[in-house]
Amino acid sequence: MADDGQSEPVARAEDWLDEQTMPRGDRPKGLEDAGPVPTAAELRRQQQEEMTSTGLGTEGQTRGAVFGVVGGAVVGAVIGAVVALVFIEASTAARVLVIVIGALAGSAAGFVYWGGRTPELENETMTATGEPGIGTTPRNPDLDDRGR
């Protein structure tokens, strides 16, 4: 068991997630190489880079949404399969329908959650000075160093 009461697999998973999402210097994306107080030119450069790489959402939103859809569909299908096998005594078609509904519900939930959470984890929602953006929930230092 880890010191904070978490199981070892959970602690390893959180460490892996931190390694994958922590930008250099804990700075907002695009400003990793900028000074402590970015100049107008550095902010302009960062905005230009964002505009050229933004499609339907930011990089973090897109990656989070894709991960959420795939991961959510798998989790939803597993939950749907358990429900179908334990509680549904009808035909195979009814069981398959419950599994498909579970996968669709899981993918929708994953899309919404991870599409919004990944930009926060990757510091896309921070201001140029490293503070949470105006539309972001303030970080709670009592939770951990990343405010989770």
Taking only the tens of pLDDT, the chain with its 148 residues reads: 445 556 788 888 877 877 776 655 566 666 666 667 777 887 788 778 777 766 777 888 888 999 999 999 999 999 999 999 888 887 888 899 999 999 999 999 999 999 988 887 777 777 766 666 766 666 665 665 555 5
**What is the identity of the amino acid at 46?**
Q
For the chain, give every domain's residue range: 59-125
pLDDT at 122: 75
Q: Alpha-carbon distance 130 to 128, whole Å?
A: 6
Tell whether pTM > 0.85.
Answer: no
Instruction: Tell me how many degrees the CA angle 13-5-121 measures, rounded to the nearest 5.
Output: 40
Query: Which of 60, 32, 46 is closest to 124 using CA atoms?
Result: 60
Query: Which of 147, 125, 145, 121 is closest to 135 using CA atoms?
Result: 125
Instruction: Tell me how many degrees the CA angle 67-71-74 measures, rounded to the nearest 5.
Output: 150
